[in-house]
Amino acid sequence: MTKTWVVMFETYLRQIKTWSFLFMILGPFLMFGLTAGLSYLTADSAKSSQQMAVVSQSTPLRQAYLKSHRDGLNTRITTTNQAKKAVKANHLAGYLVLSVDQQAIRGDFHGTQALSGGQRAQVQNFLSAYQAQTNTAQAKLTAKQQAVLSRTPTLASHISTKSGTANTVKIASFWAFVTLLYIILITYSSITAQEIAADKGTKLMEVIFSSTTATSYFIGKIGGMLLMILTQIAVYLAGGAAAYQWASNSRSFKPLLTSNRPLIDGILHNFLSINLLYLFLGVVIFILLAAYSGALVSKAEDASKAAQPTVMLGMLVFFATFPFQNNLDAIPVKILSYVPFFSSYFMPLRLINGTTNTWEVVISLVILLAAIAVGALMIGKHYQRLMLQNDNRSLWQQLLHRK
């Protein structure tokens, strides 16, 4: 048992010291930091280039518009000349000139692009409302007549925001989970297959097997890879929590997080649950297959080909989820949620969609754990023979014609 731990930590320490592992760990954080930094640096300039100025020779008219619409406006620009210079320098999207001609209210927009539908409707509504006020004042109507003219129809919307958010959470969680699991599977399948295949047929393996059992050595190798996975998951969880805390206190990102908090909380709830266990076990069973593929290659030089069967199976399972993203209660989904390799994808998706119960999850986990245990024992039993044999058959010939 002591030698198993030695192999495990030797494999773990050797792998985490590589540049590839460092970049794999730091890559998402570097991308997040780069994106956040660029967003912060360009926020002010982008915001100003999308703003609109309002100018008018009638101060009450301009103030009335500014009072009713404050968002997206540059209130510092008050003259046409200032507005023209700002548009030319790309510091302004355009400017609106408000004028009064014989009691008729007029608005003229000048800019590099046309007003959007929402902006145009906003300006038109203001002009109509202000014109109505002007007409009412000019007509000298009584208070009762003004009250009659001010009547407006009512449109009420009754939207179930909870249901809408829940559906969005399910869709976002679906894509986030299957994509993350696929990336981790492909990455560690390749690493594991090459780690095992690199020792293929070497004299060192004969020396190692003379001092310890092949099963112990194999378990140590797999244990080292699992420690790598746990390290990556732990770093992502800690880094994600720190980034979330920072964004919650950031002036730039806090409004975005606040407006999308139900969505974010729902996705986090779906991830930080038993689905995390399924993700880990899914990686375990796939790297067992990758280790077996690595042991089957004819020589160490074929290490780059060792992950092909596992990668192809991973792609098959990944793309098999696509047709059921909107129908997670289908019979094939229920069946595949109990099949090893497939269950790591399909049972979490059923949990996200709320179409399963506790006993179904327990049965699925028992089957998956049993498959992992049986697979590890079978591979460990034949590991020495596979690692010491040295013939010229290809990986696929080994898989199809193994004796």
Return the domain boundaries, the chain: 49-139, 167-400
Span 269-292, average pLDDT:
87
Residue 399: how many other CB atoms lie within 10 Å: 14
Amino acid of residue 147: A
For the stretch 171-207, pLDDT in tens is 788 888 888 888 888 888 888 888 887 777 567 777 7
CATH topology classification for 49-139? D-Maltodextrin-Binding Protein; domain 2 (3.40.190)
Res 403: pLDDT = 45
| Contact (Cβ atoms closer than 8 angstroms) between residue 199 and residue 205 | yes
For the stretch 311-365, pLDDT in tens is 888 889 989 888 887 777 888 889 999 999 999 889 988 888 888 888 999 999 9
Query: For tokens 């002591």, what's the residue?
Result: 2
Measured between alpha carbons, how far is 165 from 124 in angstroms, rounded to an integer?
Answer: 33
Sheet of 94-101: strand order equals 52-56, 94-101, 104-111
Most confident of 83-97, 144-158, 345-359, 365-379: 365-379
Residue 338, phi then psi, degrees to nearest 5: -110, -5
- Regarding predicted confidence, which is higher, 226 or 28? 226
Tokens of 250: 């950031």
* pTM for this model (two decimals): 0.65
Of the candidates 383, 189, 173, the one whose C-alpha atom is nearest the C-alpha of residue 282 is 189
